[in-house]
Amino acid sequence: MLRLTGIHKDFNGNPVLKGIDIAVEKGDVVVILGPSGSGKTTLLRCINFLEQASSGEMIFDDLRLQLNKVSATDKRNVRKKTAFVFQNYNLFNNKTALENVTEGLIIGRGVPKNQAIEIGKAMLDRVGLSDRYQYYPSQLSGGQQQRVGIARALAVQPEVILFDEPTASLDPELVGDVLEVMKNMAREGMTMIVATHEMQFAREVANHVIFMEGGNIIEEGPPEQIFFKPKVERTKSFLSRILKSTA
């Protein structure tokens, strides 16, 4: 479904991604772990062309792209297949929850307004916000704002949703509601690539876990291997510290 090969990304000559290879099949939940600065967010942003990779290849269904020379049409075609959930929500403060979900449909996809409103309400219902259609972001908790962000992503019916640390900005008591929505999406077969520090989510929901550091994939495999039988010492030390801090 989605294959990335040899992904490099430099910022002002400084390498951030150093040859990343990832394969994602339909229905996969791929979780990316790693310390801050490991390249997790940059990788996700390169997949969605929020950043353009310096080199590498993407195969996405019938698209085959050399990432250092993609056209505007290529970018649009990939973005039609993907959606991005940001760490800091990225909602329009002057628009209601419903308007935040419908804006991309109406402006970006040309969906008629009445149809977009129906879709928007259905997606907000899906994330447990059926009583918050007309609330502005300032009237919503962080967890509710992030669920609006997820509803916005679902509304465009993407093949893959990219999550960039979706709970990192939330108070601890608000994390559970967002993770429960994501678990439900996984049960329904949504393909997701998730950068996160939520170890329990990774163990319960992921079918493939990637550990990154310094722009490289250090180790990857099924969660039972990564969490219980890691092969690389750096993976062991990282997980030991993270799990100890969340115990």
Task: Tell me, yes or no, whether 26 lies in a domain.
Answer: yes
What are 82's two structure tokens? 């993907």
Give the model's pLDDT for residue 139: 98
Per-residue pLDDT for 242 more than 90? no
Per-residue pLDDT for 131 more than 60? yes
Confidence of residue 233 (pLDDT cuts 50, 70, 90): very high
Give the model's pLDDT for residue 246: 57
Per-residue pLDDT for 21 more than 60? yes
Confidence of residue 241 (pLDDT cuts 50, 70, 90): confident
Residues 64-89: tens digit of each pLDDT: 999 999 999 999 999 999 999 999 99
What are 177's two structure tokens? 């509601």
Task: Tell me, yes or no, whether 2 lies in a domain.
Answer: no
Task: Tell me, yes or no, whether 8 lies in a domain.
Answer: no
Per-residue pLDDT for 116 more than 90? yes
Residues 40-72: tens digit of each pLDDT: 999 999 999 999 999 999 999 999 999 999 999
What are 204's two structure tokens? 């319960």
Residues 182-223: tens digit of each pLDDT: 999 999 999 999 999 999 999 999 999 999 999 999 999 999
Task: Kindly report the average pLDDT of the chain as a whole number.
Answer: 95
Task: Tell me, yes or no, whether 197 lies in a domain.
Answer: yes
Domain span at residue 147 reads 13-53+70-245
> Which amino acid is residue 161, in one-letter code?
I
- Supply the CATH number for residue 157's domain: 3.40.50.300
The count of domains in the chain is: 1
Give the model's pLDDT for residue 243: 73
Burial class (CB in 10 A: 0-12, 13-18, 19+), 47: buried
Task: Tell me, yes or no, whether 240 lies in a domain.
Answer: yes
Mean pLDDT of 158-187: 95
Q: Distances in Å between the alpha carbon of 12 and those of 37, 54, 75, 97, 179?
A: 16, 11, 23, 38, 36
Task: Tell me, yes or no, whether 199 lies in a domain.
Answer: yes
Give the model's pLDDT for residue 152: 97
> Which amino acid is residue 68, in one-letter code?
N
DSSP state of 67: T
Q: Distances in Å between the alpha carbon of 102 and those of 2, 97, 115, 178?
A: 27, 9, 9, 20
- The number of angstroms, rounded, from the C-alpha of 7 to the middle of its chain's C-alpha atoms is 18
Task: Tell me, yes or no, whether 23 lies in a domain.
Answer: yes
| C-alpha span between 63 and 67 (Å, rounded) | 12
Contacts of 201 (CB under 8 A, 6+ apart): 31, 179, 182, 183, 194
